[in-house]
Amino acid sequence: MGEIKGMNKYGNIKEWKTKGNETEIIFENQRMIVTVINDEIINVFVPIWSEDHRSKAIEKEDYERASSKGCCVESAEKINEFGEKSVEISTSEIKLIITDGGFADFYSKDGKLISAEYRENRKPIKTLGIWEMELLRAEGHTVADTVLNKPVNDVRRIDLDERLYGLGDKMSFLDKRSYEYENWNTDDPSAHNEQYHSLYKSIPFLICKKRSYTYGLFYDNTFHSYFDLAKENPEYMAYSAEDGNLDLYFIGGGNIKKVVENYTDLTGKTPLPQLWTLGYHQCRWGYSSTKDIMEVADKFRELDIPCESVQFDIDYMDGYRVFTWNEKDYGPKGKLFKELSEKGFKQVVIIDPGTKREEGYFMYEEGTKNGYFFKDSDGKNDYVNAVWPGDANYPDFGRDEVRKWWGSHVNDLTDMGVDAIWNDMNEPASFNGPLPLDVIGHDEDRETTHRELHNVYGHFMSKATYEAMKEHTGKRPLVITRACYSGSQKYAAVWTGDNQSLWPHLAMMIPQLCTLGMCGFSICGVDIGGFGTDSTPELLSRWIEAASFATFFRNHSANGSIRQEPWKFGERTVEIYRKYVKQHYTFLPYLYDLMYEEQTTGLPVMRPLVMEYEDDENTYNLNDEFMVGDKILVSPVVNPGETVKKVYLPKGTWYRYPDGEKIDGGRYILEDAPLDYMPVYIKEGSVIPTYKDISFVGEKLPDKLILLTTPGGGKCNHFKDSGTDYSYKKGKYNLYEFEVDREGKLNLNIVNESQDVEQYSEIAINILKKT
């Protein structure tokens, strides 16, 4: 472990005891509880702030799923070569050594060091400039206080070639080494770049890839926290938090896929969505009337561009009051929904948490009467800030009774015909400065402050919405959220917030969505074309191509920007747009199959190449390509004026889609990529279920399934159910095993068959080969 210098965090070990899977270690100045969840997950808990976890990410059923994989725990006391007392806790896969001082080091089952704490004092290599030091002094800080001294710390040695992935929705590349980040949910509509430390979500989960072993670190702490990933000093990476406990889950597995599976066992898998939610959606802040909505909906059908919903942004509300309807501009309640439904469109409406303060408004009256809103620091008056409706209160979503109250009004919307809810502004956003940290709310029955609740405000709001819709409708809810925390994937789909119509934001879409997927968020997307500023025909065309395999597939733009429907940019843009939206629907059954598999594996649909080719150094920070499952490789054009794309194909044989050109991998190639073409490749040995032309999910789905395969055949499983409810959990689904042999003959085995689900009238084979 090397010589220890300068630090003794907790003092020497005084005593320890193991009972079952839990070991308590008493130091001179602190105590530590080590819990073995299973053979590959170990929790190190130091009660700096409270005696219990009270996790928001890990709920009872998550914990039971993770711990059900079992473990065999051994513990022993030893003296190391430096005369330190240590406690060794071992499973069949991992050994944890806790030494004097409270240092926690993890080893593989064969004794190789995986992750060790850094023993020395932190040594920042950056020299602050004069203006930075003056700013710190003006704010009453010292450099040491600001950069280093936090109540919660974990500093770990890092190999020179170690790669670092994860942290959810950061405006960053795949490999986050040499950058620093904060977990503090932030509504900032600026033109984000890779130097932004925080955005709308806080996912304190890292995937650390060494040459010999890949592991995860999940720091379950909702307070404002920081990650310095070898930027401060290349010798270490550092986690710190403003308050709370050190609640570290070491997640083993050895490779990225297994680490992701273990992490989602612990924090939850993304539920199987309704099939229509994976389709295409259109939205604009500025569709300000029935006329606007119907014109857009009708134009999509007229131009034969598939579309599931024309979503309702804040314009539909009466004066931005949540759970109200603007009858002046949108007509009587329910009428527009009925007309859209008859054309095959689903109804998706936005809801913000900020509740207008207005006498006579039912939400204000109910919330005030029952004490459902956040309180000022004195605990007497409801806290007030401003958002779209003006002065507003903020529901105290950490309380179950408040979530149920909110959910009752969600049910009013679903009774009116709403099919999905989009939760926005739930960082929470505020126009008169940020919410003070001493604003009072609750974590269930416990009073606390916004310092603890801020990063889980959106999580609680999504939970309230999801649970109400699930119970009331019996269908699988689509809840879309901007702000969230680890574990929110159980309740909501996500998008990356207010991006801009900028080429760098298109390029950053790929690592952003791949990273969200690695962190459990399997239904995720971006605002196609960019939300703010003005798009162009070329940018919108390249964006619809690049996003055409995303699981949340929505064009969304801001009031005041150029209208972003494809027909606003001319016929060529319409043709490209139609082509790639239709391509998305062609592969819809494959995307749905991947979501079904995700229930077991936790693996996302959209994956970085390093997840599939972890031994290939060319994939380690490959930011302009991605995999769709393990069978399709996509290499979008993300730079203006580019018509030739440099593509990396890993080892193996690939077939270009759709012309069937056979290409040997393990190398870079140059592909012609005119504006209407995005390079896509199918891996040899693949069988991929596809549909022929459909305009929307809900018109009768094709009863013909087309199996796209490569020369030489292959095999796959395919799942078919109602696409809407939970009947599949009662066995009402068909599960097919398809195998195409070398001669192109299909062998079919139906593993599960239900009389409630229609069989395909025809299953055809499409062999991808150059003619």
Distances (CA, A) of 96 to 69, 99, 262, 324, 531: 19, 10, 18, 55, 47
List 117, 228, 419, 427, catalytic entry: 427
Integer Cα distance of 592 and 614 in angstroms: 25
Helix or strand run (H / E) with residue 342: helix 335-342
Sheet holding 746-752, edge to edge: 714-720, 734-740, 746-752
List 498, 527, 538, 598, catalytic entry: 498
Is 145 tagged catalytic? no
> Cα 273 vs. chain centroid, distance in angstroms?
15
Q: Where are the alpha helices (DSSP H) in 348-487?
A: 362-370, 400-416, 450-453, 457-473
Is 61 tagged catalytic? no
List 169, 396, 424, 538, catalytic entry: 424
Integer Cα distance of 203 and 457 in angstroms: 14
Is 352 tagged catalytic? no
Residue 347: both structure tokens together? 């109804």
* Contact of 263 with 520, CB cutoff 8 Å: yes
Residue 220: both structure tokens together? 């379950």
Integer Cα distance of 487 and 519 in angstroms: 9
* Contact of 394 with 383, CB cutoff 8 Å: yes
Integer Cα distance of 371 and 374 in angstroms: 8
Integer Cα distance of 690 and 586 in angstroms: 5
* Close Cβ partners of 391 (under 8 Å, ≥ 6 residues apart): 356, 357, 384, 385
409: burial class by Cβ within 10 Å (0-12, 13-18, 19+)?
A: middle
Residue 664: both structure tokens together? 């040997």
* Contact of 177 with 271, CB cutoff 8 Å: no
Integer Cα distance of 738 and 304 in angstroms: 32
The catalytic site residues sit at 424, 427, 498
